[in-house]
């Protein structure tokens, strides 16, 4: 069994360059290197892992790292009245990879929130290592959430956890181990391999609303439904413009999500799902039910469940409305 020696949590608070929906500006997210979205998103650049250390947080605009303790958090610019969005990358990527380049940037534009990008790259440089370390990573994230709840009386209803690949399952583990119920998890193409019979795989019991998006189902991502509501983009296994390139299709899971956040702010086209009677209908692109669920975004959702299909355009904007 591998040991996870570090789970660095990088806290990016609202600081200028991007513009929020209210017209105010925010500071750059150094040390993130934000790549512009392309019609064909680029693959993440992989940095060598950092030396082993304790849990570390880095706050944008703060020279010193933020530790997972009360005095350190008190000295940071974490807003106890703001919403908090946790983002969790997958294996072979770092906190400055493409996942956060898309998601953190657009989340900052979409809302005034604490954006916490979890860096567990030391324990996930290879898929097999990340798979072994995923449960511990989830519990470490939960321990940070519990500090916020127990020591700062932070309202857990303000928390959303977004994870891609292995991070989708880790989101569920973190939520289950939090002292209070987490309202919303968004799992982007959660991983398949090693999770079919895993006792801690993502499931509806993890949060009040577990929302899953499938873009490479049965290849990289988990093919079957995992949440309260599961969206199958273009049938859930292959994405337009990617051909049979599953890595490309996996990347599109967070590209779609990033677009969905901006659409809420800019009144853009939404990823509107068509209800399916079964998983088989979704993968066969044969769903004909109600169009009553929207994938992604960060607005509060309740009362939605089931399996949904949505199709996308070949180029941005991908949502067809």
- The tens digit of pLDDT for each residue in 193-206 reads 999 999 999 999 99
Q: Is residue 97 part of a domain?
A: yes
The verdict on residue 320 lying in a domain is: no
The tally of domains found in the chain comes to 1
The answer, yes or no, to whether residue 111 has pLDDT greater than 70, is yes
The Cα–Cα gap between 175 and 168 comes to 11
Q: 248 or 48: whose pLDDT is higher?
A: 248
| pLDDT tens figures, 245-300 | 999 999 999 999 999 999 999 999 999 999 999 999 999 999 999 999 999 999 88
Residue 317 lies in a domain: no
Dihedral angle, C-alpha 159, 170, 93, 10, nearest 10 °: 40
What is the mean pLDDT of the segment spanning 23-27?
34
Q: What is the dihedral of CA 212, 228, 295, 261, to 10 degrees?
A: -80
The answer as to whether 121 is a domain residue is yes
pLDDT at residue number 66: 64
In a domain, 315, yes or no: no
Whether residue 2 lies inside any domain: the answer is no
What is the predicted pLDDT for the residue at 302? Answer: 85
List, in sequence order, every residue forming a beta bridge with 233; answer none if it has no partner: 310
pLDDT in tens, 70-82: 987 888 888 899 9
For position 205, which CATH number holds? 3.40.50.1820
Report, as an integer, the average pLDDT of 159-170. Answer: 97
Cα separation, 14 vs 12, in Å, equals 7
Phi, psi values for residue 307, rounded to 5°: -115, 130
Tokens (6 digits) for 271: 């990823």
Query: Residue 12 pLDDT > 70, yes or no?
Result: no
2-11, 56-65, 147-156: the lowest-pLDDT one: 2-11
Confidence band (pLDDT; 50, 70, 90) for 15?
Answer: very low
pLDDT at 58: 56
Residue 23 CB partners (closer than 8 Å, separation 6+):
none
84 with 139: CB under 8 angstroms? no
Rounded Cα distance, 248 and 42, in Å: 9
Which is higher by pLDDT, 15 or 22?
22
Burial (CB count within 10 angstroms: exposed 0-12, middle 13-18, buried 19+), residue 122? buried
Decide: residue 28, CB within 10 A, 0-12 exposed, 13-18 middle, 19+ buried. middle
Of residues 9 and 80, the one with the higher pLDDT is 80
Q: Flag whether pLDDT at 45 surpasses 60.
A: no
Q: Is the pLDDT of residue 175 over 80?
A: yes
Cis upstream peptide for 317 (omega within 30°) = yes
* Averaged confidence pLDDT in the chain: 83
31: domain range? 8-310
- Asked if pLDDT for residue 318 goes beyond 90, the answer is yes
Please tell me the total number of residues recorded for the chain in this structure.
321
Is residue 269 domain-resident? yes
Distance between CA atoms of residues 218 and 78, nearest Å: 39
Could you tell me whether strands 65-66 and 18-19 are parallel, antiparallel, or unpaired per DSSP bridges? unpaired
The residues, any chain, with a CB within 8 Å of residue 77's CB and separated by 6 or more, are 13, 15, 59, 61, 62
Please indicate, yes or no, if residue 1 is contained in any of the structural domains: no
């Amino acid at each position: 069994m591998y040991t996870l020696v570090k789970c660095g949590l990088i806290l990016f608070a609202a600081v200028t360059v991007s513009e929020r929906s209210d017209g105010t500006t925010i500071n750059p997210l150094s040390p993130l290197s934000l790549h512009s979205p392309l019609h064909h998103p680029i693959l993440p650049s992989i940095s060598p892992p950092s030396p082993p250390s304790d849990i570390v947080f880095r706050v944008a605009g703060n020279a010193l790292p933020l530790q997972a303790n009360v005095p350190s958090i008190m000295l940071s610019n974490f807003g106890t009245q703001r919403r908090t969005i946790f983002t969790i990358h997958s294996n072979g990527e770092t906190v400055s990879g493409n996942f956060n380049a898309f998601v953190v940037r657009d989340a900052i534009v979409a809302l005034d929130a604490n954006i916490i990008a979890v860096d567990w790259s030391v324990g996930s440089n290879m898929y097999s290592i990340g798979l072994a370390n995923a449960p511990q990573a989830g519990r470490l994230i939960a321990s940070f959430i519990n500090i916020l709840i127990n020591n700062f009386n932070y309202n857990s209803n303000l928390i959303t956890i977004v994870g891609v690949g292995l991070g989708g399952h880790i989101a569920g583990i973190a939520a289950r181990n939090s002292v209070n119920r987490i309202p919303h998890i968004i799992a982007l193409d959660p991983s398949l391999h090693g999770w079919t019979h895993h006792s801690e795989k993502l499931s509806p019991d993890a949060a009040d609303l577990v929302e899953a998006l499938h873009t490479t189902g049965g290849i990289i991502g988990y093919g079957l439904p995992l949440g309260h509501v599961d969206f199958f983009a273009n049938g859930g296994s292959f994405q337009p413009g990617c051909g049979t390139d599953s890595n490309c299709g996996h990347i599109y899971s967070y590209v779609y999500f990033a677009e969905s956040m901006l659409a809420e702010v800019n009144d853009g086209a939404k990823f509107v799902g068509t209800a399916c009677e079964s998983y088989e209908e979704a993968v066969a692109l044969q769903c004909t039910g109600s169009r009553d669920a929207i994938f992604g975004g960060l607005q509060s959702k309740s009362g939605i469940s089931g399996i949904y299909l949505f199709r996308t355009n070949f180029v941005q904007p991908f949502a067809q409305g």
